[in-house]
Amino acid sequence: MKKLLSAVVLVSVLVFWLLGSDLLRRAGHAEAANATPPAAGIKGGEKTTVLGSGPSSDELAGFEIRRRQLAEKEAALNAKEQELKKLATKLDARLAEINAVKKSLDESVKAKKQEMDERYRRMLKIYKGLKPDEAGKLMDKLDEELVIGMLNQMDQKTAIKLIPFLSQPRVLKWSRLNLSK
């Protein structure tokens, strides 16, 4: 019976030592406290303990060192976690700032486009109001892509009046582009 009890205590101590858990250490101490301790012998004035009587002071010191190392690692992890939270907050603020700038730029581009469209419509209205021969002479001096765009925006009646006064290569290009669509 004593051998069985000693084997159980020894296994408990080994499990505690391997896992390094406070819970197992407490359980090991409880088992040792509940069990009847084996008799200690005295030889030549020295006290000797029987195997399985509990963890030695070296083992306890090892456990304490391990516990401190784990506590230090936990503290370091907590510090890094706090640092990451601060960085995440800064990143969120920066992202909000970037989104605000993007929104502002989008609004600015939209306003500029509306302004350009309005100018384009006014110029188109001016060209529509000119006599066809005068408008044709002026449009021949403009960039070809701009003239094609203007012809596309004009109503059919105005475009028909202008075609005879425009250079024929431009009219042909405009015709090909409209037919290929």
pTM above 0.75? no
List pLDDT tens digits, range 45-68.
Answer: 444 444 556 778 888 899 999 999
Domain boundaries, the chain: 130-181
What's the distance, Cα to Cα, between the start and end of the chain in Å? Answer: 101
Which pLDDT value is given to residue 55?
Answer: 77
> pLDDT band at 44, cuts 50/70/90?
very low
What is the pLDDT averaged over residues 91-118?
95
List pLDDT tens digits, range 121-172.
Answer: 999 999 999 999 999 999 999 999 999 999 999 999 999 999 999 999 999 9
Which pLDDT value is given to residue 24?
Answer: 43
Structure tokens at 62: 């090892």
On the CB side of 141, CA atoms within 13 Å amount to 4
What phi and psi, each to the nearest 5 degrees, are found at residue 41? -95, 160
Which pLDDT value is given to residue 115?
Answer: 95
Contact present, 136 and 164 (Cβ < 8 Å):
yes
Q: E strands of the chain, at which residues? A: 41-43, 46-48
| Residue in the block written with tokens 């304490």 | 64
Q: Is the pLDDT assigned to residue 18 strictly greater than 50?
A: yes
List pLDDT tens digits, range 58-96.
Answer: 888 999 999 999 999 999 999 999 999 999 999 999 999
